[in-house]
Structure 1
């Protein structure tokens, strides 16, 4: 018998002996004797209210829940009848217990309890989280608080990797040097100065995901980060610049109209149109989603038939709220398509507009000029009402897509689209749906 076999045999006998001893002691507390890393893994999966209830199990369990590595304050923590201020009082009661007994790291904190935080109390809690090495800080759905002021030292937490803020006023410290560990940033209904937002984005060297929604009073939105991979914007802005962001993989931009402009929108003499300026650095993008108002913004200036560099790696294009009565939007739509030679999937949602003869003539000219979607396999068009411009675009897709496999058209008020269109692909399957 080898030495290894002898050791394995002894280990097996010892394990069997321990198992026999535990079986002969049915009242032994196996859970309490688990390593803390396992107990923490189990308890953080429970609602915080249930984790706190484990304190009644025994004196040994009285304060175990206060040492968790993650804390989630949500609706499950409190009765629905409690007001916002009372809920925050309950939050503080729990927080004070945590501060009294917690002596390890806290990796994640999430507040989504529809409460009304007191700024001073919240500041002290954030300072405590910073001292405990917080990695994920999420503030959502704060009831009735508009522009909750956050302490500037939140933006100096050295290990912060995920930051999500809702309804806050953010002030970046004057000596801000960056968040070196931040990978994901999401700001919703946040008040932040344009230059502060630019500095925040620029000085997070490993930032990969950026989501901006309903940000207040953005005049010029500059996105400058070489590591950024995912960008989603649903906000008002008057101008935008994507620079040094060549690794962007997915871009989704919905521009909310600005009715009072503070920045002149005239195109400077000799300056390229917004379409070329915005997309010239997105050569590696694989998913692109644009809205109608942003298409209108991109049309500022003379729209080229196509632009360079082309978006060679883009297989999926999603265009929303397209107005087929707007020659500018249709021209941008076509220019983008012509600059995506390898697009395989096209999704378009249509916003109802009246027909326009210039749009009709433009689309007919494209059909006659040999324009092709050489790689297009799947097309979905939603919201058609039957205008001649819409029908001509469907005709363009069918006539110029030799590899098209499926076309799905969802219509308002039409039983089905006419089947008189020429089809470049003999195998295309057309599905017509009524909304």
Structure 2
């Protein structure tokens, strides 16, 4: 701690109003670290600080702004007034803007806001709007945000623009609960030539297939019907996540697993919920080609469902250089007995670590664990975790029993992870 004499000597060389004499870059750095509401409140510090917030290049309007200290959400008129003040007082470019409107409120000034952003160099735009009434229809000025590099839209309607050549600087795109035609969606993606990261959460069913043509795409998260997408040109795709959506296109055409995966030459990490197997046509023993780049597989599978297990094994057999695998067992039919027989012809010559999240510690789960231990000569660690507190003791007992099992790898360690 500084002695009193030193403090007094130090203060003699400091300006009387330290805050007002801070360098501009220091003030900007301080404001950028604060939530938007707190940054605006710094206006009361002095006359010099009064309008410093007006030149912030990054603004976030979310619950931290809309809620009072008593956790009461602002009324629509108050939300509108805040946005109005930004439009009137802000100076300089806005490179990043996030707007998250509470579910119970509306926001009538978004058209003006997007027009304002389109003229002020917006590069990163996030619009998460409430699921109340019809989705918000984006105005024509949205398609003039030509410097966009990152775009996130939720509960919006994207109309067909009369003339639009694409966002040629866009790197990442996230669309959730967005209303858009399958043709326009495919066109939008194909015209973003620099697109590397894509997230699609399709709630409404598509009668037509969305064609994904993205030559620089590296990661893709998709939730919806597998029959709704066709990955045509994705030579650099390294990470793919396929999760289940409750909304499904109930057509007659089945999902072709072979056709779907034939373009994945660079795939390294696959996360898949095998509920998609319900949409599959005939499932082969293995794909007619190997995906040699796949090193990690995260899979959610019902071990009591023969179709899901067959589909999962088809993929595993086609990943000869798999090193890490995480399996989450999702047992949906608790009233049936074990009935799926696991094959003995599967080998895991490069597998080093396995994590199993189990629902019951049942016979089929024990068989799966033994199969992995017996067929993985390079295995270093097998981790067990229970998906619920109720069955935690049972799964822990299963892991303890497997420590005595004769493994293919002399280095294999079996570990139970506490919840």
Same fold (TM > 0.5): yes
Trace 1:38-117 onto structure 2 (pairs within 5 A).
Answer: 38-80=26-68, 86-114=74-102, 116-117=105-106
Per the normalisation by structure 2, the TM-score is 0.85
Tell me, yes or no, if structure 1 residue 289 matches structure 2 residue 271. yes
Counterpart of 2:328 in structure 1 is 349
Distance 2:178 2:143 in 1: 15
Q: 1:244 to 1:302 in 2, by over 3 A?
A: same
How far apart are residue 384 of structure 1 and its match? 4.4
Distance 1:199 1:282 in 2: 21
Counterpart of 1:231 in structure 2 is 220
Q: 1:139 to 1:384 in 2, by over 3 A?
A: same
Tell me, yes or no, if structure 1 residue 208 matches structure 2 residue 187. no
For the 8 Å contact 1:211–1:232, the answer to whether it is kept is: yes
Residue 248 of structure 1 aligns to a residue whose secondary structure is: coil
1:195-214, Cα deviation, whole Å (9 max, x unpaired): 12111111111111111224
Counterpart of 1:399 in structure 2 is 374
1:365-405, Cα deviation, whole Å (9 max, x unpaired): x42x4x31001111112124354443332222111111112
Distance 2:66 2:287 in 1: 57
Counterpart selection for 2:348 from 360, 366, 373: 373
For the 8 Å contact 2:226–2:276, the answer to whether it is kept is: no
How far apart are residue 326 of structure 1 and its match? 2.5
For the 8 Å contact 1:384–1:409, the answer to whether it is kept is: no
Counterpart of 2:3 in structure 1 is none
Trace 1:326-341 onto structure 2 (pairs within 5 A).
Answer: 326-341=305-320
Distance 1:383 1:393 in 2: 11
Distance 1:143 1:241 in 2: 28
Distance 1:340 1:110 in 2: 40
User: What runs of 5+ residues in structure 1 fail to find an aligned partner?
Assistant: 1-19, 267-272
Distance 2:353 2:249 in 1: 40
Q: 1:384 to 1:96 in 2, by over 3 A?
A: closer
Counterpart of 1:311 in structure 2 is 291
Q: 1:255 to 1:122 in 2, by over 3 A?
A: same
How far apart are residue 433 of structure 1 and its match? 6.0
How far apart are residue 108 of structure 1 and its match? 1.2
How far apart are residue 335 of structure 1 and its match? 1.8
Counterpart of 2:163 in structure 1 is 175
For the 8 Å contact 1:231–1:250, the answer to whether it is kept is: yes
What value does the CA root-mean-square deviation take over the aligned residues? Answer: 2.9
Q: Report the count of equivalent residues.
A: 396
For the 8 Å contact 2:243–2:273, the answer to whether it is kept is: yes
Trace 1:133-144 onto structure 2 (pairs within 5 A).
Answer: 133-140=121-128, 142=130, 144=132
Per the normalisation by structure 1, the TM-score is 0.82
For the 8 Å contact 1:187–1:215, the answer to whether it is kept is: no
Distance 1:110 1:274 in 2: 39
Distance 1:213 1:392 in 2: 35
Distance 2:230 2:203 in 1: 16
How far apart are residue 237 of structure 1 and its match? 5.2
Counterpart of 1:127 in structure 2 is 115
For the 8 Å contact 2:234–2:264, the answer to whether it is kept is: yes
For the 8 Å contact 1:73–1:91, the answer to whether it is kept is: no
How far apart are residue 106 of structure 1 and its match? 0.9
Distance 1:386 1:160 in 2: 50
Q: 1:388 to 1:49 in 2, by over 3 A?
A: closer
Distance 1:422 1:351 in 2: 27
Counterpart of 2:408 in structure 1 is 424
How far apart are residue 258 of structure 1 and its match? 4.2
Distance 1:302 1:25 in 2: 76
Distance 2:411 2:351 in 1: 13
Residue 244 of structure 2 aligns to a residue whose secondary structure is: strand
Residue 48 of structure 2 aligns to a residue whose secondary structure is: helix
How far apart are residue 240 of structure 1 and its match? 2.5
Residue 319 of structure 1 aligns to a residue whose secondary structure is: strand
For the 8 Å contact 1:238–1:258, the answer to whether it is kept is: no
Counterpart selection for 2:211 from 215, 222, 226: 222
Q: 1:392 to 1:306 in 2, by over 3 A?
A: farther
